[in-house]
Amino acid sequence: MKMRKKVFASFVLTGVMMAALSTSAFAQYGTNGIAAVGTSALNSKWGTNFQSTYSLGQTHAQIGVLKENLKKWRSYNPSLFTGVQAITSTSNYFDQATKDNLIVFQKAKGLTADGIYGAASRNAMHASMGVSPKGWVRIANTSYYINYNDTKAGLAADAAYKLDHSWVTTSTKSTLDSIAKSFYSAYSKKLEINDASLMDGYDTPEHATHMDGKSVDVRNKFGTTAMTAAQEKKFLELAVANPNVKEVLFYKNHGLTSAKIKVRADHADHFHLTTVN
């Protein structure tokens, strides 16, 4: 009974916090209750004051959000926290308990367990607890594709703003799943899915055409290896054949004549795929 009461109290607190956030500027940045990170370029664009990381000894409003996130995640996974002190303070101060709880989270997610909250931890928190009011879903690694945004290279490539471009509509997700599965059965290669949208499509400095949850970039590179011409053609064929694909932008059509393929010289290192729904 005590336990239930405690969990209930934490939900009430989170509910109040979410309500406050949804009316603030904070919510429009696609963070929706998850502690945000950013860079000076992002801050000057959005008028925010996000840090790229938060760590022991610092004080920041996003640290208060992080502490609520960790408390909530802990309530879902209590057995992982045996012997780890609970976060009791609701202040914006990053105390030792915050660091200890964050390390448990990072270990569980296979991240560098350094107790410093940055873009990789933010992405993992989004994936674990991020709730899109529009019902969008976050792309995760599957048997058939990799979410490049969650790789070290992908995180480094996003150094300018440190945003999480991994959100799509459920039908876009199904479309990706289907194309990637077919591609994998042909080549035993996972597609690398790069930027989709921010949660719920809010403004992004990088991708003005990526605000609808229906647009996603697919790399025609696999790490340092490029797709072969045959693989690029196969991807185009699969995309064209999928009824939910509206168009795909790429620098060549490989002899295919579908109206869905738009040849764009500036799309040599990725396919830009847009779905109908």
Query: Which residue's C-beta sits nearest to Zn ion?
Result: 272
Q: How far is the CB of 169 from Zn ion (least distance, A)?
A: 16
Chain centroid to CA 161: 13
Opening angle at CA 111, ends 107 and 114, nearest 5: 75
Window contacting Zn ion (CB under 5 A); options: 37-45, 101-109, 197-205, 209-217: 209-217
Cβ pair 138, 167 in contact under 8 A: yes
Question: Does position 165 bind Zn ion by CB under 5 A?
Answer: no
Neighbour tally for 276: CB within 10 Å: 13
Q: Closest separation between CB of residue 249 and Zn ion, Å?
A: 7
Q: Please state, in angstroms and rounded to a whole number, the distance separating the CA atoms of residues 120 and 230.
A: 34
Q: Nearest approach, Cβ of 84 to Zn ion (angstroms)?
A: 41
Contact pick of 54, 204, 272, 274 for Zn ion (by CB under 5 A): 272
Smallest separation (angstroms) from Zn ion to the CB of 204? 11
Among 100, 192, 217, 232, binds Zn ion (CB under 5 A): 217
Toward Zn ion, which CB reaches closer, 158 or 217?
217
Residue closer to Zn ion, measured from CB, 150 or 217: 217
Could you tell me how far CA 121 lies from the centroid of its own chain? 10
- Specify the stretch interacting with Zn ion by CB under 5 A; choose among 14-22, 41-49, 210-218, 250-258: 210-218
CB closer to Zn ion, 219 vs 272: 272
CB distance 120 to 159 below 8 Å: no
**In the complex, what is the shortest distance from the CB of residue 168 to Zn ion, in angstroms, rounded to a whole number?**
12
Both tokens assigned to 34: 């998850």
Structure tokens at 30: 């696609």
Provide the angle, in degrees to the nearest 10, between the axes of the packed helices 61-76 and 96-108.
50
Whose Cβ is closer to Zn ion: residue 217's or residue 237's? Answer: 217
Question: In what order do the strands lie in the sheet containing 145-147?
Answer: 145-147, 191-193, 215-219, 270-275, 245-250, 261-263
Piece in contact with Zn ion (CB under 5 A), picked from 16-24, 91-99, 160-168, 269-277: 269-277
Helix (H, G, I), strand (E, B) or coil at 137: strand
Which single residue is written with the structure tokens 């899915």?
193
Nearer CB in complex with Zn ion: 124/248 = 248
Which residue is it, tokens 């594709």?
A: 145
Of residues 67 and 272, the one with the C-beta less far from Zn ion: 272
- Alpha-carbon gap, residue 119 to 52, rounded angstroms: 7
| Least CB distance to Zn ion at residue 254 (A) | 19
Least distance to Zn ion, CB of residue 210, Å: 6
Beta carbon nearer to Zn ion, 162 or 272: 272
Residues lying near Zn ion in the complex (CB under 5 A)? 217, 272
